[in-house]
């Protein structure tokens, strides 16, 4: 049943509910840990957000008073953020944003002019403390670009932009992917299967397309490695033909770009099912691995893998680079994805063939079909 609320509002309500649910799931899992810090913020140029961030204060921090100095929390650092922002996009940010978006062709001719935009999304990165528990990321987002005649935001309150005009372009993007330091094949299978099952009611092509897209997107060419063991990724999903789907060929005898959700309402329904799958896709894995005994060498390997995570996010991730280029972006929220600590070694002796560390390197170098 279609809602008669504007899509902007439907997305805003959903991501807000999902954020609460996810933060709550982590707090319930580890009741003796400090609570997530919840920061509501307003963007002076238009919009608002809520950042929910977990960290244990460093022993030297004044805030550490009540904490045990040797942290035993399940999480090491985590952020679950939402933002609902609008304003004018500078050309560099438009370029960062529109990588594959066909319907924005008209922009090139006028690349110096800023365009009104609306963007709402939830973005989370969870770095657990135990080296055997994987890092996870998820992000679901909705964009609108208006043409210049749009009066979005002018004269209205920051969180209530004018929304009376059909957008010049709109699209959804998102995904979720897992980054273990140590490979546990059942975890990879569980994570992928949960996402596949959530996508299935919305089209048979979705999981196969999104899985491959994830392997391609979360890739560090300079390392010849994927960031993690994959999951799902999609972008530029709207009512137009989509070149990634078109290029995928057929699934179950039907072109992949047929039979996928196309209307805003249908795509939002899919996004909700994927977003709701986050907790069941990840929390059982975290529960199972969080008490695995580990050595100093395994902690060292985890920090080395976190170095690669930093490399991907700062060098390649479009969301992060979009944030860095957006004037007035809340940098502390954009960079909450970075781990508490990371390590770099010149030609590390860890990760060679035949070792537990090498097992994960092998699947990063050659993405695997986890579900057959």
Q: State which of positions 186-245 bind a copy of itself (CB under 8 A).
A: 221-223
Shortest distance (Å) from residue 219 CB to a copy of itself: 13
Q: Which of 31, 65, 164, 346 binds a copy of itself (CB under 8 A)?
A: 346
- Confirm or reject binding of residue 60 to a copy of itself (CB under 8 A): yes
- Cα distance between residue 75 and residue 28, in whole Å: 12
Tokens coding 22: 């996810």
Starting at the earlier edge strand, list the strands of the sheet with 135-145.
Answer: 37-42, 47-55, 75-89, 115-128, 135-145, 169-179, 231-237
**Residue 128 or 208 having the CB closest to a copy of itself:** 128
- Confirm or reject binding of residue 315 to a copy of itself (CB under 8 A): yes
Q: Which of 44, 59, 186, 358 binds a copy of itself (CB under 8 A)?
A: 59
- Cα distance between residue 9 and residue 52, in whole Å: 21
Dmax over CA atoms of the chain, in Å, equals 63
Determine whether 202 is an active site residue.
Answer: no
Shortest distance (Å) from residue 119 CB to a copy of itself: 18
Closest to 266 (Cα-Cα) out of 193, 172, 165: 172
Q: Which of 25, 193, 204, 342 binds a copy of itself (CB under 8 A)?
A: 342
Q: Which of 11, 50, 55, 363 binds a copy of itself (CB under 8 A)?
A: 55
Name residue, tokens 């365009």: 115
- Cβ contacts of 354 within 8 Å, gap of 6 or more: none
- Confirm or reject binding of residue 61 to a copy of itself (CB under 8 A): yes
Q: State which of positions 63-102 bind a copy of itself (CB under 8 A).
A: 63, 77, 79
- Confirm or reject binding of residue 38 to a copy of itself (CB under 8 A): no
Give the Cβ contact number of residue 329 at 10 Å: 18
- Confirm or reject binding of residue 328 to a copy of itself (CB under 8 A): no
- Cα distance between residue 35 and residue 336, in whole Å: 16
Closest to 73 (Cα-Cα) out of 37, 38, 39, 29: 29
**Residue 48 or 223 having the CB closest to a copy of itself:** 223
**Residue 250 or 345 having the CB closest to a copy of itself:** 345
In which element (H, E) is residue 255 found?
Answer: strand 254-255
Q: Of the residues 137, 190, 192, 242, which is catalytic?
A: 137
Tokens coding 259: 């039979």
Taking CB under 8 A as the binding criterion, the range among 103-111, 152-160, 238-246, 318-326 that sits at the site for a copy of itself is 318-326
Q: Which of 95, 300, 356, 368 binds a copy of itself (CB under 8 A)?
A: 300
Q: What are the distances in angstroms from CA 210 to CA 144, 147, 198, 205, 222?
A: 22, 30, 12, 8, 23
Active site residues: 137
Task: List contacts with a copy of itself (CB under 8 A).
Answer: 37, 51, 53, 55, 57-63, 77, 79, 221-223, 295-297, 300, 303, 307, 310-311, 314-315, 321, 323-324, 329, 331-332, 334-336, 338-347, 349-350
């Amino acid at each position: 049943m279609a809602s008669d609320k504007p899509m902007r509002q439907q997305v805003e309500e959903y991501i807000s509910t999902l954020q609460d649910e996810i933060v709550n799931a982590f707090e319930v899992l580890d009741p003796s840990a400090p609570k997530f810090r919840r920061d509501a913020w307003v963007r002076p140029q238009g919009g608002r957000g809520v950042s929910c961030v977990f960290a244990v204060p460093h022993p030297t921090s004044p805030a550490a008073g009540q904490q045990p100095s040797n942290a035993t929390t399940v999480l090491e650092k985590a952020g679950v953020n939402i933002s609902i922002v609008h304003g004018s996009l500078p050309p560099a940010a438009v370029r960062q944003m529109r990588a594959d978006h066909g319907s924005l062709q008209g922009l090139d001719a006028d690349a110096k002019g800023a365009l009104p935009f609306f963007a709402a999304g939830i973005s989370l990165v969870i770095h657990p403390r135990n080296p055997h528990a994987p890092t996870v990321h998820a992000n679901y987002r909705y964009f609108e670009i208006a043409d210049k005649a749009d009066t979005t935001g002018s004269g209205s309150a920051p969180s209530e932009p004018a929304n009376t005009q059909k957008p010049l372009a709109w699209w959804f993007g998102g995904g979720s992917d897992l980054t273990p330091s140590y490979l546990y094949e059942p975890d990879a299978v569980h994570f992928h299967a949960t996402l596949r099952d959530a996508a299935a009611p919305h089209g048979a092509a979705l999981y196969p397309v999104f899985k491959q897209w994830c392997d391609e997107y979360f890739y560090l060419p300079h390392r010849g490695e994927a960031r993690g063991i994959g999951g799902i990724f999609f972008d530029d999903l709207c009512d137009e033909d989509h070149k990634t789907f078109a290029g995928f060929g057929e699934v179950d005898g039907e072109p992949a770009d047929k039979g996928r959700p196309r209307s805003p309402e249908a795509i939002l329904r899919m996004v909700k099912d994927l977003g709701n799958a986050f907790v069941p896709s990840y929390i059982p894995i975290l529960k199972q691995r969080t008490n695995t005994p580990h050595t100093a060498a395994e902690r060292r390997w985890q920090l080395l893998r976190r170095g690669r995570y930093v490399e991907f996010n700062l060098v390649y991730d479009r969301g992060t680079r979009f944030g860095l280029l957006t004037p007035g972006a809340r940098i502390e929220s954009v960079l909450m994805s970075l781990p508490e600590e990371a390590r770099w070694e010149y030609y590390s002796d860890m990760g060679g063939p035949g070792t537990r560390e090498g097992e994960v390197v092998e699947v990063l170098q050659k993405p695997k079909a986890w579900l057959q």
